Structure 1
Amino acid sequence: MKTRRMAWLVTSAVAAFVLSSAGSAQAAPTGTAGANGPSGCNNNVCVYTAYTGSGYEVWAEFDHSSVQDGHLDVWGPGLSRRSSPNGYWPAGYDTQRWSGRGSGQVCAEGWSRYGGTWHSVGLPCVTI
């Protein structure tokens, strides 16, 4: 009887550990971009998407170099061109998320102003 009770306790403890480990392993890490939608990068710009129940969300970032004076434009199906504010953009800093509907090309273009002129620094597109 004692052995049977010990086996039950050990089994219960193992089951509780497995369940608690599985729960934490399934949680998505914070800051994971584009975990459930296509993403892509071109030069210094990345575009990320996430599917929603009624369409998709899109956001962008400058990938590996900060931009002293710039902005990011984003557009796609059911979403007219949106722009982030002009100014300093550190690498890896996401724009806000914009919502769209439909399927087709979703794009982001990064702009940097130097020498008084705007220059494109990347134009990635993905199919949603």
Structure 2
Amino acid sequence: MTLGLVTTAAAAAVLSSAGTAQAAPAGAADANGPSGCNNNVCVYTAYTGSGYQVWAEFDHSSVQDGHLDVWGPGLSRRSSPNGYWPAGHDTQRWSGRGSGQVCAEGWSRYGGRWHSVGLPCVTI
């Protein structure tokens, strides 16, 4: 079907523009903006009339003690609260302006140290 080919081509274009972060194939694409996943973290975007919104989640494994950081053009690094994060639970949405890379990094604390558990980036 033509629609399937267009969707596949669009997904490939998003993945090829993911930049230097090692992005895994995008799980679910937001209808309004690019999304991507890496290891246990997904980042989602949506275009607004004056910029974009970004939010993130731990994708497939809950994190007992962790948080998610997001940043991008016109948006300094923002962090979700530390604590238990069930898989699939979105952070709040933050707003930014401009074009370039939007990233999210997930952190999990175990053994008394913080460990990165995923760093997806997409181009907005």
- Segments of 5+ residues of structure 2 without an aligned counterpart are none
Q: Distance in 1 between matches of 2:4 and 2:76?
A: 61
Shift of 1:16: 39
The structure whose Rg is larger is 1
Shift of 1:34: 2.1
Classify 1:116/1:104 alpha carbon distance in 2 versus 1 (closer, same or farther; 3 Å). same
Q: Which structure has the highest helix share of the two?
A: 1
SS of match in other structure, 2:61: coil
Contact kept, 8 Å, 2:68 with 2:106, in 1: the verdict is yes
- Alignment TM-score, normalising by the size of structure 1: 0.75
- What is the root-mean-square deviation in Å for CA atoms of aligned residues? 11.2
Deviates more, 1:29-38 or 1:52-61: 29-38
1:48-88, Cα deviation, whole Å (9 max, x unpaired): 00000000000000000000000000000000000000000
Classify 1:119/1:54 alpha carbon distance in 2 versus 1 (closer, same or farther; 3 Å). same
1:95-116, Cα deviation, whole Å (9 max, x unpaired): 0000000000000000000000
- Segments of 5+ residues of structure 1 without an aligned counterpart are 1-6
Classify 1:52/1:31 alpha carbon distance in 2 versus 1 (closer, same or farther; 3 Å). farther
Which structure would you say has the larger RCO, counting Cα contacts within 8 Å and 6 or more residues apart? 2
Contact kept, 8 Å, 2:55 with 2:92, in 1: the verdict is yes
Shift of 1:35: 2.1
SS of match in other structure, 2:17: helix
SS of match in other structure, 2:20: helix
Percent of residue pairs identical: 90
- Alignment length (residue pairs): 122
- Alignment TM-score, normalising by the size of structure 2: 0.77
Contact kept, 8 Å, 2:54 with 2:94, in 1: the verdict is yes
Classify 1:53/1:112 alpha carbon distance in 2 versus 1 (closer, same or farther; 3 Å). same
